[in-house]
A and B are shown apart, each in its own frame.
Chain A
Amino acid sequence: MKEYYPLTAAQKMHHNWIKKYKTQQVSGVSVVASLQSPLDFGLLKKCIQLEFERYGCMRIRFTKPDVNGEVQQYIVKKDNRDIPIKDLSGMSLAEADRLMQQWAYQTFDGDDIPLCDVTMLKLPEGFNGFFIHMDHRLIDSCGIVVMINDVMQLYTHFRFKSAYPENLANFEEVLAKDLKKANNEKRFAKDKKFWDDQLDALGEPLYSDIQGPSVLEEARKLHGNKNLRAADIELNNLFVEVKDYYLEHEPTQNLIDFCMNHQLSMTNLLLLGIRTYLSKVNNGQEDITIENFISRRSTHDEWTSGGSRTIMFPCRTVIAPETEFIAAAYEIQNVQNRIYMHSNYDPELIEKEMRRRYNTPENTTYESCYLTYQPMPVKMDNPHLVDIKQHSKWFANGAATKKMYLTVSHTEHGGMNFSYHYQTAHLTEHDMELLYYYMMRILFKGIAEPDMTIGEIMEQI
């Protein structure tokens, strides 16, 4: 007997984007994980098939949408699929990456179907591994990293007699617990009060664009409302480009040391960098909101159950120019800590409440920037593989629901990668260059002179 469950808030977030943008492409997530070493593909296939048994989220299916477009989920008991193998070894690595990028654009279309593809790969330069393409309603990036590591632990167990990996938490049990928590009336009331109090205290948010105030001005003209505080989102041309910037080991370490010495989290420092840039290019605007993604993985079960747990919440701060850099960082940290405590809330309800209070027009937003800070590198963390060169890469799904989505991750060489995904309908690579350049100037000025005010930093950079 199949058990049917509603979607969690995190799953609903992706599901709503699919409905809004009318394509599943916006919910695709793809990654390749490979080693510069021969692999026993028969054994790898067995390990991937075993992973389908161990990691319940890979077996999620969704029912046919009802009249409102809502679906339910269930987990099939078995998925006895074959795992295909493709030989791309005759190409260059860049050509193989380009081909995989095309695969990442593919969509899963249909109801009650698997939403997960795994393909084993022979890659150029002696790399061998596998490519995973999934729907974000099944898994987030932390979940994928856990899955890749588990597959390789299974592989090294069977190949080199290393310890059998510990059991992963049961996805269905964790899902049921999450849904129960979300339905806890007392918890819901506390979370709602927190988010409503923020609107009571600060009023309607104010849009700030990467390209400056002209974007809001245009929206005001378009809607015939000179007091409009939200700007239009792009609904038609969702094509996204990706621009990566690499921050070397030494400056990365300086940022990490600053965070350690001041008991700050890197997320909050990055949020300060982005918000200061937005303030600078929007005539010193003090009220800035950035959407920040939260992993919602804290307990052992949450870490190992897979699933889509990442969810975004608006980080809104009003920071005056005379505020010292370090004080501003603590102010953001204070806001974020409180958000963490109320992160079981469904962010769709925050948006609905704002639309109700302020009559915000449909298809407008208060945010232009979205941030994910990812402390886990996509690296196979396995003692048997430690000396083997790896080629691992995330592929963008090619359709962005957000104007600019920045993912910051750590690299295996001790640096940080800043990956800017931007909608080409409105933004160019030059916009990303400016954003990265000024973010770095702001952050390094600030950590060098934490007593300097935000206004002084904006003036000097």
Chain B
Amino acid sequence: MTKEMQFKTIVAQYCEVKPEDMNNDMRFREDLGFSSLDFMSFLGELEDTFDVELEEQEALKVLTVGQALDLLEKL
């Protein structure tokens, strides 16, 4: 599984959209229905799965699936 698909599989656990139907422009809150709690739990899950450390203020600026993927790629 590619890193992107692995990432989208995690996102899909938090919403009703399947990984294959997910596009990078989708917004976590408006399009995928994430609450604040969902989003912050999701960030924690990313850290644990990919063994990375997210800078909280930077991560809070993320609005879309694509932006989150970019942030993950940079680490």
Residues on A facing B (Cβ under 8 Å) = 181, 184, 186-187, 190, 263, 265, 294-296, 298-301, 333, 336-338, 340-344
Of residues 1 through 49 on chain B, the ones whose CB sits less than 8 Å from some CB of chain A are 13-14, 29, 35-44, 47-48
The answer to whether B73 has its CB under 8 Å from any CB of chain A is no
What separation, in Å, do the CA atoms of A83 and B26 have in the docked complex? 47
CB distance from B36 to the nearest CB of A (A): 5
Interface size class of B (residues with CB under 8 A): 10 to 19
Secondary structure of the B contact surface, majority rule: helix
Q: Which residue of A lies closest to B51 (CB)?
A: A186
Please state if B13 and A341 are interface contacts (CB–CB under 8 Å): no
Please state if B41 and A340 are interface contacts (CB–CB under 8 Å): yes
What separation, in Å, do the CA atoms of A341 and B47 have in the docked complex? 11
Besides A296-B37, A340-B39, 13 new A-B residue pairs in contact (Cβ under 8 A), listed by A number: A187-B47, A187-B48, A190-B53, A294-B37, A298-B35, A298-B42, A336-B36, A337-B36, A337-B60, A341-B40, A341-B41, A341-B43, A341-B56
| Subset of 28 A-B contacts with CB under 8 Å | A181-B48, A184-B48, A186-B48, A190-B47, A190-B53, A263-B29, A265-B35, A265-B36, A298-B14, A298-B35, A299-B41, A300-B14, A301-B13, A336-B36, A337-B40, A337-B60, A338-B40, A338-B56, A340-B39, A341-B40, A341-B41, A341-B43, A341-B44, A341-B56, A342-B44, A343-B40, A343-B41, A344-B44
Most B C-beta atoms less than 10 A away, residue of A265, A301, A340: A340
Residues on B facing A (Cβ under 8 Å) = 13-14, 29, 35-44, 47-48, 51, 53, 56, 60
What separation, in Å, do the CA atoms of A294 and B37 have in the docked complex? 8
Most A C-beta atoms less than 10 A away, residue of B35, B37, B39: B37
Residues of A within 8 A of B43 (CB): 341
Given A184-B48, A187-B48, A337-B60, A299:B40 Cβ within 8 A: no
